[in-house]
Amino acid sequence: DGALVVATSAELTLSLLQPWDARWARVGGLLVLGAGLLFPMRPDPGSGPIGLLGALLGAMALTVFRRGRAWTWSRRRLAAAVALSWLVPGAALVANGLAASGGRRLEPITRPLIAHCRFAAVPIDDVERLAAWCREHTPPSARFIGPPGPKTFRLWSLRPVAFNRAASPYHAAGLADWAARFRDHVGFRGSTAAFARAYLADRHRLERRYQEMTDTERAALARRQGATHILAARPADGARPSGPLELLRAEGRYAVYRLK
């Protein structure tokens, strides 16, 4: 959604300024595009704008380098460009097939390809593998709490979650409930305005507070939010949860628990 807004804004700026001055139209379009790419980096530096901005700068540098040089698209060049554009998707299609057949020896190679192009429901990380397990081994009525992040677990498990940051509603009453659940989920005590400022200052630090809770605190959070199961960090090697949680399954850095 954000990328569509940025692209539309840049195109609109170019269209509005083009009748007056083509040079300033390009400058204005680039400024809007740059601002649109840089703005998400403040609350979410890992969302990818840096890579996209680097690609745009590289394309601009290539345009300047090619200035004055003749270039035409021959059939051979066009065929080579089409083949190159399908190189990564084609490799990802093969990687999806290898992973779906159960081969994990090549995971260091197949995982980035699958993450880039999904052609099958092949889990590639700890949360996705746990969610796939929960889809087969928990009742449809199970309700989860977990790290307040992407919608990965909910989509892969086909189970409801009591709260998810990436699933905010679009009406006032729902937003108020969502904000209250978010504050409760990370143990934040303060107003919504103070919470918004803390979120913009360091979202990752704020969301880590969920993982820093004790088992007792997470169990209390689950009961307050009407959940029956919990997704959290796996226990230390050899340790078994002895409090209000029952360990069901561990996968890598994460585990699924059930309230006792």
Query: Does any domain span residue 70?
Result: no
User: Structural domain tally of the chain?
Assistant: 3
pLDDT digits (tens, 9 = 90+) for 19-65: 888 777 778 887 887 777 776 665 555 555 666 666 667 766 766 67
Tell me: do 103 and 142 sit in the same domain.
Answer: no
pLDDT digits (tens, 9 = 90+) for 227-249: 999 999 988 776 676 689 999 99
Query: Does any domain span residue 162?
Result: yes
Q: At what angle do helices 172-185 and 215-224 cross, to 10 degrees?
A: 160
CA separation for the pair 60, 51 (Å, rounded):
14
CA separation for the pair 79, 179 (Å, rounded):
52
Helix (H) or strand (E) holding 166: none
Tell me: do 92 and 155 sit in the same domain.
Answer: no
Last residue of a domain, one of 65, 86, 102: 65
Tell me: do 228 and 141 sit in the same domain.
Answer: yes
Tell me: do 162 and 61 sit in the same domain.
Answer: no
Query: Does any domain span residue 121?
Result: no
- Looking at residue 173, its pLDDT comes to 86
Query: Does any domain span residue 53?
Result: yes
Domain that holds residue 87: 75-116
Tell me: do 59 and 161 sit in the same domain.
Answer: no
Tell me: do 202 and 250 sit in the same domain.
Answer: yes
CA separation for the pair 108, 146 (Å, rounded):
26
pLDDT digits (tens, 9 = 90+) for 141-200: 999 999 988 889 999 999 999 998 887 888 888 888 889 999 999 999 888 899 999 988
In Å, what is the CA distance from 80 to each residue of 69, 77, 85, 117? 20, 5, 9, 21
Tell me: do 203 and 82 sit in the same domain.
Answer: no
